[in-house]
Amino acid sequence: MSEVPRQGNPTTRPVAATPRAPGNGDGRSGTAVITRTKPRTKRPNLYRVLLLNDDYTPMEFVVHVVERFFNKSREDATRIMLHVHQNGVGECGIFTYEVAETKVTQVMDFARKHQHPLQCVMEKK
Ligand code: TYC
């Protein structure tokens, strides 16, 4: 596995030190430090959105949910549904916190509205 170099927060760092005449009465003496702010990016925390298997939700309903809320093709949605059916749990997508939370709420509301016990959860990566 190759590692992508990590970046930190924006930093202001010394880039040079120049001699300055001491004793000019301004209370600073000796060295002036020149700084530069380097823009840095921070990667957001990511969350998996998972569907859980149950014995009652119809397979066709789960396929519809995966197509509708996770923008998958019928073929991919069917693969995901069968994976969940056979393994108990499966991933529908990976999102930032707020998007993942929205997906979970949308799926849970939709399942409740149709009186299916389908469960959708999120998990920090
Ligand atoms: N196990 C369900 C059935 O046999 C189908 C199912 C698949 C339910 C995936 C939930 O997340 C799920 N009807």
DSSP 23: -
CA distances from 79 to 52, 55, 58, 119 (A): 14, 18, 15, 18
Q: For ligand 1, what atom is nearest to the CA of residue 119? A: 11
107: Cα separation from own chain's centroid:
18
pLDDT reported for residue 19 = 61
Largest CA distance in the chain: 84
Cα 29 from Cα 20, distance rounded (Å): 7
Cβ-contact 49, 69 below 8 angstroms:
no
Q: What is the pLDDT of residue 37?
A: 80
- The residue whose CB lies within 8 Å of the most ligand 1 atoms, and thus the one to mutate among 82, 85, 104, is 85
Provide the whole-model pTM: 0.76
Query: Does 67 contact ligand 1 (Cβ within 6 A)?
Result: no
Pairwise CA distance, residues 105 & 112, whole Å: 10
Q: What is the pLDDT along the chain (125 residues), one digit of tens a residue?
A: 344 444 444 555 566 665 655 545 555 556 777 676 878 999 999 999 999 999 999 999 999 999 999 999 999 999 999 999 999 999 999 999 999 999 999 999 999 999 999 999 999 99
